[in-house]
Amino acid sequence: MSVLERHESEPLLIISYDWPPMVAGVRRWVKFAHYLPEFDYRPLVVCARPTRFGAHDEEPLHGEVSGVSALMTSSYDPYHAAQQFSRLMGRRGKSAVGASVGADDVEAVSGFRSFARRAARQCLNFCLFPDDRVGWVGPATRAAAKLIERHHIRKIVTTSYPHSAHLVGLRLKRKFPDLYWLADFRDGWVQNPYFRNAPTPLHRYLHRRLEAKVVIKADAVVTVCEPIARHLSAVACNSKPVHVISNGYDSRDYASPVGAPFDKLTLVYTGTLFMQRSPDEFFRALSDVVRTVNRVEDRLQVIFMSKFLPEHYESVHRYGLDNIVRVEPMGSHRAALELQRRADGLLAIEGRAAGAEIMLTQKIFEYMAARRPVLAIAPEGALADAVRASGCGVVVAPEDYEGLCEALRLLLAADGSFPFELNEAYIAQFDRQFLTRRLARLLDMNDLYDYRKEK
């Protein structure tokens, strides 16, 4: 069946560990799934059942997923196991621990938890391959195989992180050789600075081998930026093209009026903070600038809609910014977009580390669409390139402390308005509907190929 002959929606199976109400990395494929029916594809989803670990959005991306059929499966990973254990134990143990910790012990408890998190992460990295969600591969494969047979599905998508999702693709391709498999890399694999620290040389070797196997076996490979695409193309010995379909923004999310402005000059950060994505240098520079600007505390606030770690709170206190920095819990996607649009300026942070050049955070596209000046603290790479090409703000290298102080002084002197000129043509290419059209064309290319082969 060719794209020329297809008159009704064709089922497309999307295999993604996370799906709403979980929010980790889901926005990309939730938006694709919402727009794909306009291009004659009917999305079906296999995902893991949500757990209480990780952020939830009870307003799942404005209801885009309400019409998408999602089959949520069990998973034998540490997060689902911990949730089951928690249910069995009830709340008694938690209450007892809370009652035993006095105010003077908070710092010690915080330090112990930080150590315990690092130790647990290292243990999981050593024992579970390729990642800590590998226990989902079996249930997901079985569920996907049943859907493929029941709905006569010819095309599937696997999307990572976690990389384990691509193992599902490998197994399904082996079981159904004629299946068209598109492997989507939302993040780099062996390049990724947040997941590249394999515990042993053997682990590193196996990661490289498995990454190459996925890239070679998949019928099409898609990723979010050019640095990852170049790496994956080299992994496949340039035997197949690796397509770049970036993340983006949905213009419909910006149709409503902007809320009331803040009564102070407001700089906003939305999203996660961890590892080298740390605000410490920003706080240090802000502290120095605040001391040199008269009465700035009365007219400036910095809002983080993020999950602050104990070291972040300690950094705010150490630099004397308690009256300037405000922390809001991770809210819904809608709340984050509203906060971005109300801000006078937006903050993006990406620390320097091996592989940091591939990092292109999703929120930078939303920042572009918010049309607010952006201060990006980032090394040279995909994020810095996007900020410069869009004209949405300024880029400061993480180690350029004087440059960061100067950018903050400029922001304060201009009351939050960097001298910037948006490149509207560049920004327009990241609209979700346009990106989905490119994805559909890539899926259709397989039909055209089959059609010509039959002729």
pLDDT digits 0-9 by tens, 40-85? 999 999 999 988 776 666 665 546 676 788 999 998 888 888 777 7
Counted residue by residue, the chain has a size of 455
Query: What does the mean pLDDT of the chain come to?
Result: 84
Q: Which of 43-57, 144-158, 254-268, 320-334 has the lowest mean pLDDT?
A: 43-57
**Residues 261-267, mean pLDDT to the nearest whole number:** 90
Residues ≥6 apart with Cβ < 8 Å to 434: 248, 428
Euclidean distance between the first and the last CA atom of the chain, given in angstroms as a whole number:
12
Helices in 90-199 by DSSP H: which ranges?
92-100, 106-127, 137-151, 164-175
pLDDT at residue 113 greater than cutoff 50? no
Residue with more model confidence, 354 or 183: 183
**Cα–Cα dist 381/226, whole Å:** 10
Per-residue confidence at 126, pLDDT binned at 50, 70, 90? low
Cis peptide before 161 (omega within 30 of 0): yes
- Which class does domain 251-428 fall in? alpha beta
| Secondary structure (H, E, C), 135-147 | HHHHHHHHHHHHH
Q: How confident is the model at residue 155 (pLDDT cuts 50, 70, 90)?
A: very high
Q: Does residue 214 have a pLDDT over 70?
A: yes
User: Which of these ranges, 12-16, 172-176, 335-339, has the smallest mean pLDDT?
Assistant: 335-339
In the block, residue with structure tokens 């290292």: 122
State the Cα–Cα distance between residues 27 and 192, nearest whole angstrom: 20
Mean pLDDT value across residues 217-224: 95
Is 70 exceeded by the pLDDT of residue 414? no
The answer to whether 363 touches 344, Cβ cutoff 8 Å, is no
pLDDT band at 93 (very low <50, low <70, confident <90, very high): very low
CATH superfamily of 10-77+132-248+431-454: Glycogen Phosphorylase B; (3.40.50.2000)
Region 132-152: mean pLDDT is 95
Residue 121 has pLDDT above 70, yes or no: no
Is the separation of the CB atoms in 330 and 307 below 8 Å? yes
| Per-residue pLDDT, 211 | 95
Instruction: Choose the weakest-confidence range: 46-50, 114-118, 183-187, 214-218.
Output: 114-118
Whether pLDDT at 203 is above 90:
no
State the Cα torsion 346-364-418-434 to the nearest 10°: -130
Q: Among candidates 56, 69, 64, 52, which has minimal Cα distance to 28?
A: 64
Answer yes or no: is pLDDT of 148 > 80. yes
pLDDT digits (tens, 9 = 90+) for 356-371: 777 888 899 999 999 9
- Residue 61's pLDDT is 54
- Asked if the domains at 10-77+132-248+431-454 and 251-428 fall in one CATH topology, the answer is yes
Chain segment 299-355, per-residue pLDDT in tens: 899 999 998 889 999 999 999 999 999 999 887 888 899 999 999 999 999 888 776
All residues at 6 or more sequence positions from 104 whose CB lies less than 8 Å from its CB, including other chains: none
Output 14 or 447, whichever has higher pLDDT.
14
Question: Over 90: is that where the pLDDT of 142 sits?
Answer: yes
pLDDT at 451: 36
Q: The pTM is what?
A: 0.84
- Asked whether residue 216 carries a pLDDT value surpassing 70, the answer given is yes
pLDDT of amino acid 359:
80
Of 447, 441, 440, 437, which Cα lies nearest the Cα of 178? 447
Question: What b-and-e string marks burial along 222-241, b requiring 16 or more CB atoms within 10 Å of the CB?
Answer: bbbbbbbbebbbebbeeeee
Residue 173 CA to residue 214 CA, distance in Å, equals: 10
**Domain ranges within the chain, ordered by starting residue:** 10-77+132-248+431-454, 90-127, 251-428
Which is more confidently placed, 167 or 9?
A: 167
Rounded average pLDDT over 126-152: 92
For 399-422, what is the mean pLDDT? Answer: 81
Question: Using CB atoms within 10 A of its CB, is residue 201 exposed (0-12), middle (13-18) or buried (19+)?
Answer: exposed
For the segment 11-20, the average pLDDT, to the nearest whole number, is 95
Instruction: Judge whether residue 109 has pLDDT over 60.
Output: no
pLDDT of residue 115: 43
Residue 453: both structure tokens together:
């082969």
In single-letter form, the type of residue at position 187 comes to D
Contact (CB, 8 A) for 161 and 189: no
| pLDDT greater than 50 at residue 285 | yes
- Residue 72 makes CB contacts below 8 A (sequence gap 6+) with 19, 47, 48, 49, 50
Gyration radius from the chain CA atoms: 23
